[in-house]
Amino acid sequence: MRTLSRRTLLQSGLASAVVLGGHIPGFLRRALADERLSPSIHDSIVVAIQLAGGNDGLNTVVPYENDIYQRSRPTLALKKKDVIPLQQGVGIPARMKGVFDGLEQGSFAVIHAVGYSNPSGDHDRAMEIWQTAQPDNPHPETGWLGRAADHLVPSPKAGASPIPAASPSVFISEIATPLTVIGRASVCVKAADPASLTLDASFGFPAIGEGTSKFPSAACESLVSDAIAASLRTAERVAEASREDKPGNVSYPSTLFARRLEWLARLIRAELGTRIFCTEMGGSGPGSFDTHSLQANNHGELLGEFSDALAAFLADLARDRILERVIVYTYSEFGRTVRENGRRGTDHGSAAPIFLAGGGLRQSVVGEHPDLREMENGGVKHTVDFRQIYATILERRLGIPSQQVLSASFEPLPILV
């Protein structure tokens, strides 16, 4: 059962009844005054999007009037005509119109210069650090969202069922499940395509309650029977949410990434109780964003693909007001060098901006664009530790004390309502 939140209170009309009664309690007055409803920490959903390869932050959030930027990138630097202005002298590529519209509407936010100290320039190690939030651990076993999911599965205590009521996390892609969502206890469900989560009806559907023995202590079977019933209900909801002919279906681009987001939106809409979703763009191996050569065209196309797909995804969630409960964040293993190389590309850098999207964002732009005079590993220096963002999401959306997941204390950022 969902905990009463401000949103449900308003929806229930109770607030109106109280107001009509002439007496407005102080707490309610303050709650109603906040026009932006904060999602409940009991039913918020986190969507992690992994961008593999190292996204070039400088050509994503572009300091187009910065002299160092222009001089360092004779062939790659974007000009004023190529961008949509965001802040003074900073814009995003015109190809990312969808993201820009989201920034204007308040469903998108960009956080400047996110990274960590002594960044790794190795794809695998750097990605592992972002996935695990453990830069000092040479042998990480679990990801930060996996550890968060561990908090969402039954803990061993008297009388508790060992079977989770909802699948704690889902990963949508064909590549191997990333460490991000690997937990010690929780099992992340991997779905390469919609068929894998659509119940195969070749032999009919299992009947609820049947197939249990009369064994007096068959407590396990009874639990499984309940679990099967729950899974059949889940399958129905997934099927219903996947119907192609539903009115108001948003049209997605035909790219692979967009199809994944479309499928993800359906799963969210199905209200499965799953709170952590993960998907990716860029594949496995070095990754699509690893633009060492001929970056201009490729990176532009990638950002366009990303922007169009994400815009459709948010629009899809926005109908039925599901977007309010969702927070999307992107991560990539590093940014790229400020200076372009001789192959009209860039090499491995350090910090980069990340995007947040969804409901309850306090502001569209967080922080200042990094100073290009101060560099680290040839890239921009970080001003925000990425674990602060994780702490923010853990505490403000998942309701999990961040220290239990991150094994250290990081100050959450005041970016989410």
Footprint on residues 268-287 left by another protein (CB under 8 A): 272-274, 282-287
Packing angle of the helix pair 219-241, 256-269 (nearest 10 deg):
120
> Which token pair is 242?
């996947």
184 binds another protein, rule: CB under 8 A: yes
Minimum CB–partner distance for residue 49 and another protein (Å): 15
* Total chain residues near another protein (CB under 8 A): 98
52 binds another protein, rule: CB under 8 A: yes
Phi, psi of 279 (to 5 degrees): -145, -175
Binding range to another protein, per CB under 8 A, among 15-23, 195-203, 312-320, 374-382: 195-203
Minimum CB–partner distance for residue 280 and another protein (Å): 10
298 binds another protein, rule: CB under 8 A: yes
- 255/363 with CB nearer another protein: 255
Q: Residue 326 and residue 51: Cα distance in Å, rounded?
A: 19
Residue with tokens 């927070």: 327
133 binds another protein, rule: CB under 8 A: no
What is residue 200's three-state secondary structure? coil
288 binds another protein, rule: CB under 8 A: yes
Residues 247-266 binding another protein (CB under 8 A) are 254-256
111 binds another protein, rule: CB under 8 A: no
Minimum CB–partner distance for residue 63 and another protein (Å): 24
Q: How crowded is residue 213: how many other Cβ atoms within 10 Å of its Cβ?
A: 7
Give the one residue of 69, 116, 289, 331 binding another protein; rule: CB under 8 A.
289
Cβ contact 312:261 at 8 Å: yes
136 binds another protein, rule: CB under 8 A: no
Minimum CB–partner distance for residue 66 and another protein (Å): 24
Give the one residue of 46, 47, 111, 182 binding another protein; rule: CB under 8 A.
182
- 88/213 with CB nearer another protein: 213
Q: Residue 118 and residue 115: Cα distance in Å, rounded?
A: 9
294 binds another protein, rule: CB under 8 A: yes
Q: Where are the beta strands (DSSP E) in 313-363?
A: 326-332, 352-358
231 binds another protein, rule: CB under 8 A: yes
Minimum CB–partner distance for residue 307 and another protein (Å): 13
Q: How big is the chain by its Cα radius of gyration, in Å?
A: 23
Residues 309-368 binding another protein (CB under 8 A) are 341-345
Residue with tokens 């003074």: 88
199 binds another protein, rule: CB under 8 A: yes
Q: How crowded is residue 268: how many other Cβ atoms within 10 Å of its Cβ?
A: 23
Which is nearest to 327 in space by CA: 180, 168, 109?
A: 109
> Which token pair is 198?
């659509």
168 binds another protein, rule: CB under 8 A: yes
Residues 62-101 binding another protein (CB under 8 A) are none
Residue with tokens 């969402």: 152
∠ CA 166-148-120 to the nearest 5 degrees?
135
216 binds another protein, rule: CB under 8 A: yes
DSSP 366: E
